[in-house]
């Protein structure tokens, strides 16, 4: 379907892949429905190579992955998308040309197509519903390819327009609260005061505070003191 080809192109371009080869598209080529689904990835479709068969599509490559969810009676290594793209990155770095073969959504790749591949990519999915949309499969492989190309931290803190508070800023906040709480008679009885102060310092130091948090907490205490004085 033209829509699937367009969505696959969009998924490829999301992750920096722009060399598409089409094997006998069902609805002919070019296809306006593919262009509509590709959104901003139209250039990729303009440059896509149209070939008659799988042999022509992979003729100039040295290693081919075939994507399939079904078990085949073939002796081939089976990779997850992550492991496959790690191997692809290694081979490409060594000067090889690597291709990933996707089949039509209705029935997937034929056995003869898989026979032309060096290895299989199998996505771990629900065994009761293993059928993936073509573009979804392209997206998964593209995502794993991008992970091999960039060092992205698994967790990033979104700080907005602030920064993490320094130890000195946290210490000054702790002093501010201790002073006001001392005036309020919080540290009582006397023989427990030292331990209470230590616990309060530990409370502030173990929290991941930003500079905006520090300013807000200073403001909270100042406003509470003003409110008390008005009474």
Contact 170, 214 (CB under 8 A): yes
pLDDT in tens, 55-66: 999 999 999 999
Q: What pLDDT digit, counting tens, does each position of 124-181 carry?
A: 888 888 778 999 999 999 999 999 987 767 777 777 888 999 999 999 999 999 999 9
Please check whether residue 211 is in contact with residue 164, taking contact to mean a CB–CB distance below 8 angstroms.
yes
Measured CA to CA, the distance from residue 89 to residue 81 in angstroms comes to 12
pTM over 0.85: no
- The CA distance from 174 to 168, in Å, is 10
Once rounded to an integer, what is the mean pLDDT over residues 48-74?
89
Residues 6 or more apart whose Cβ sits within 8 Å of residue 101: 54, 57, 58, 64, 65, 66, 67, 109, 113, 116, 117
| Residue 74: per-residue pLDDT | 76
Domains of the chain and any CATH numbers: 2-149 (3.40.1280.10), 167-230 (no CATH)
Report helix, strand or coil for 21: strand
């Amino acid at each position: 379907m033209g829509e699937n080809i367009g969505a696959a192109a969009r998924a490829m371009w999301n992750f920096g892949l722009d060399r598409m080869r089409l094997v006998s598209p069902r609805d002919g080529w070019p296809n306006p429905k593919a262009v509509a689904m590709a959104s901003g990835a139209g250039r990729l479709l303009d440059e896509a190579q149209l070939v008659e068969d799988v042999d022509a599509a992979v003729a100039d490559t040295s290693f081919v992955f075939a994507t399939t969810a079904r078990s085949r009676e073939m002796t081939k290594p089976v990779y997850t998308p992550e492991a496959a793209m790690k191997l692809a990155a290694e081979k490409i770095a060594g000067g090889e040309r690597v291709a990933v073969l996707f089949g039509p959504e209705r029935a997937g790749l034929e056995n003869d197509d898989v026979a032309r591949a060096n290895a299989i990519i199998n996505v771990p999915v629900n065994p009761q519903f293993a059928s993936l949309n073509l573009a979804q499969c392209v997206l998964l492989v593209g995502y794993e390819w991008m992970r091999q190309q960039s060092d992205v931290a698994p967790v990033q803190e979104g700080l907005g327009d602030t920064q993490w508070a320094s130890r000195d800023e946290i210490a000054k906040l702790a002093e501010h609260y201790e002073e006001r709480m001392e005036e309020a008679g919080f540290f009582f009885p006397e023989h427990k005061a030292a331990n209470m102060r230590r616990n309060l310092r530990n409370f502030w130091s173990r929290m991941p505070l930003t500079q905006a948090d520090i300013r807000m907490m200073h403001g909270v205490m100042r406003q509470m003191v003003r409110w008390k004085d008005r009474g």
